[in-house]
């Protein structure tokens, strides 16, 4: 990717300032307008939450603490209910290209044009083919979601070769046979972040900041030529990867993007993408959710 184009900024337009938290809730109601009655100043309540009566503890009496076994059982039940709800919910988003390139995918060009086309494979399956010839352009699909509720990103891809001169640490090596992005937009564009899952030429030691834009972090979901020419399935946890890359839980996501690019190295490469999914996890992904 060439220096003038802002590598890693592949994503939706910068959003307007939004609500302060990921669930869209504003400041907590403090005057009772939301139907919550606040106690009068100086009012007292009996210990135990209710007044004296048959079978109820009176003032000064405390209910016995719940046994640890019961607390543990309640926690396991909550976890089981979460897992059941996640399984019933199904994927938030699924792109299999069986109906062609659906409305909503938009091309973003940087240098030249990578050719994207939905093609039929032997057996009738359809996939997105990307051919780069010293070019760099991507496809962006705007999709707002909470990764704490939908942390699982999965897809499958195939490449005909790796980019030999690719190097994630150098601007002149910022080319990859295949990339899958998730973008986390911010109203102030320089603070927009993204996770870039790449088919790297060589393994990486961990998340690596993009040489053009440090808030775009490169993660080698696949590396090397061992599985070139074959479909490879990937499954990632966005919350875990965002924590590893940025040290905190992720904000709301705003887009998914795909790109095959070789404008820096001038090489030629073809990739295929299919079956992209965003779905819930079997267990809660973020603390407090």
Question: At 238, which CATH number?
Answer: 2.60.120.260
Q: How many angstroms separate the CA atoms of 148 and 141, rounded? A: 20
Q: Among 150, 152, 179, 181, which Cα is nearest to 252's? A: 150
Angstrom CA distances, 96 to 30, 42, 227, 277, 285, stand at 47, 62, 22, 9, 25
- Indicate whether 191 belongs to any domain: yes
CB 152 within 8 A of CB 284: no
Q: Is residue 104 part of a domain?
A: yes
Residue 96 within a domain: yes
Ranked by mean pLDDT, the top range of 1-10, 79-88, 189-198 is 189-198
Of 151, 173, 156, the residue nearest 252 (C-alpha): 151
In a domain, 63, yes or no: no
By DSSP bridging, strand 216-223 and strand 208-209 are antiparallel
Average pLDDT over residues 80-97: 67
Domain interval for residue 215: 91-279
Number of structural domains (the chain) is: 1
26 has pLDDT over 80: no
Is residue 264 a part of any domain in this protein? Answer: yes
Q: What is the mean pLDDT of residues 168-191?
A: 96
Plot region of 134 (φ>0 → left; ψ -120 to 50 → alpha; else → beta): left
Report yes or no on 9 lying in a domain.
Answer: no
Residue 211 lies in a domain: yes
What are 96-131's pLDDT values in tens digits? Answer: 999 999 999 999 999 899 999 999 999 999 999 999
Alpha helix locations (H) across the chain?
Answer: 68-89, 238-246
Say if pTM beats, i.e. exceeds, 0.85.
no
Q: What's the average model confidence in pLDDT over 191-210?
A: 97
Q: What's residue 284's pLDDT? A: 73
Segment 198-224 shows an average pLDDT of: 96
Q: Does residue 23 belong to any structural domain of this protein?
A: no
Tokens of 175: 């080319």
- Give the integer Cα–Cα distance in Å for 133 and 83: 45
- Residue 196: strand pairing partners: 181, 218
Look at residue 73 and give its three-state secondary structure.
helix
Write the DSSP string, 262-287: -TTT--EEEEEEEEEEEE--SS--ST
In the predicted structure, residue 236 carries a pLDDT above the cut 50 = yes
pLDDT digits (tens, 9 = 90+) for 249-289: 999 999 999 999 999 999 999 999 999 999 999 887 787 54
Query: In which band, very low, low, confident or very high, does the pLDDT at 70 lie, cut at 50, 70 and 90?
Result: very low
What pLDDT band is residue 86 in, cutting at 50, 70 and 90?
A: very low
């Amino acid at each position: 990717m060439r220096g003038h184009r802002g590598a890693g900024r592949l994503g939706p337009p910068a959003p307007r300032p939004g609500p302060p938290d990921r669930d869209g809730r504003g400041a907590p109601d403090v005057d009772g307008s939301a139907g919550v009655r606040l106690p009068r100043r100086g009012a007292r309540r009996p210990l135990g939450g209710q007044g004296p009566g048959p079978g109820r503890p009176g003032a000064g009496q405390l209910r016995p603490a719940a046994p640890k076994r019961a607390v543990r059982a309640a926690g396991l039940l909550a976890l089981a209910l979460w897992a059941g709800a996640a399984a019933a919910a199904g994927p938030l988003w699924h792109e299999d290209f069986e109906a062609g390139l659906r409305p909503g995918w938009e091309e973003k060009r940087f240098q030249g044009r990578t050719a994207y086309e939905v093609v039929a494979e032997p057996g009738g399956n359809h996939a997105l083919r990307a051919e780069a010839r010293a070019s760099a352009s991507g496809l962006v699909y705007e999709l707002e979601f909470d990764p704490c509720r939908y942390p699982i990103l999965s897809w499958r891809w195939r490449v005909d070769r790796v980019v030999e001169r690719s190097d994630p640490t150098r601007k002149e090596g910022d080319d990859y046979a295949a990339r899958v992005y998730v973008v986390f937009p911010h109203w102030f564009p320089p603070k927009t972040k993204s996770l870039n899952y790449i088919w790297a030429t060589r393994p990486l030691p961990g998340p690596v900041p993009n040489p053009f834009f440090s808030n775009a972090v490169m993660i080698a979901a696949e590396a090397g030529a061992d599985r070139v020419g074959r479909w490879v399935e990937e499954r990632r946890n966005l919350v875990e990867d965002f924590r590893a890359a940025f040290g905190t839980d992720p904000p709301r996501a705003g887009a998914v993007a795909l790109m095959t690019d070789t404008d820096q190295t001038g090489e030629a490469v073809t990739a295929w993408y299919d079956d992209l999914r965003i779905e819930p996890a079997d267990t809660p992904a973020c603390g407090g959710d």
